[in-house]
Amino acid sequence: MFIGHYAVALAAKRAAPRTSLGTLFAAASLADLLWPVFLLLGWERAHIVPGPNPFLTLWLDFIPISHSLITLIGWGVLFALAYRQRTGYGRGALVVALLVVSHWVLDFVTHRPDMPLYPGGTPLGLGLWNSVTGTLAVEGVMLVAGLWLYAGATRPRDRTGRYGFWSLIAMLVLSYVGSLLTPPPPIGVAFAIGAIIFGWLCVAWAAWADRHREAIYST
């Protein structure tokens, strides 16, 4: 899943209004920020095979550290502790931890069986990716709901707060559509570095846009 993770992060702003959208993005996509690093290190493995639809070309052969439920709970706790230490915002720390773990649940629903509960465990997955229409419908509805919640929980402080935010959403949607229309690149060093840069670009863009908006609710 791609846009669905960011949709949940957008929605989470309602629950933790003082947490930057950049932090919420980083938490929801943490597994996908770590994964290319572990690919580079040779600790995790994936490959590309032409598939019946664009979602089914990526085979995640071995992703126990970035994408197992147990390790994601661990990453979530670490992220939340670091966040709480830095900001003192307990509610935000809890939301951050839940977002990190939400990644497993969403990927479990979308992926083929490649999501283990723990390193070495049987890979699980419900395979929503088998249906292009189903995947687009689910991620589209999630994005609209996330946008609605985020836009209702914040208001722009200035023009950047309005256009910065909508440019972020346009960039995400265009990247998503682009990835479906272009053939996938082979998994290698260039792919991994590109994925790291893209992941952090999304986080930085969200943090920047969010700084130009203010929360309507304060909890």
Binding positions for Zn ion, rule: CB under 5 A: 31-32, 107
| Smallest separation (angstroms) from Zn ion to the CB of 103 | 6
Largest CA distance in the chain: 50
Between 26 and 153, CB nearer to Zn ion: 26
| Smallest separation (angstroms) from Zn ion to the CB of 91 | 25
| Smallest separation (angstroms) from Zn ion to the CB of 42 | 19
Between 44 and 107, CB nearer to Zn ion: 107
Handedness of CA 165, 8, 12, 193 (dihedral sign): negative
C-beta atoms surrounding 129 within 10 Å:
21
Residue 77, helix vs strand vs coil: helix
| Smallest separation (angstroms) from Zn ion to the CB of 105 | 11
Between 67 and 213, CB nearer to Zn ion: 67
| Smallest separation (angstroms) from Zn ion to the CB of 208 | 24
Residue 30 CA to residue 147 CA, distance in Å, equals 20
Residue 191 CA to residue 36 CA, distance in Å, equals 8
Residue 42 CA to residue 51 CA, distance in Å, equals 24
| Smallest separation (angstroms) from Zn ion to the CB of 212 | 29
Interstrand relation of 58-62 and 154-156 (parallel, antiparallel or unpaired) = unpaired
Which residue, 139, 98, 167, 101, is CA-closest to 4? 139
Between 107 and 139, CB nearer to Zn ion: 107
At residue 81, φ and ψ (nearest 5 deg) are -65, -45
Between 10 and 31, CB nearer to Zn ion: 31
Between 107 and 210, CB nearer to Zn ion: 107
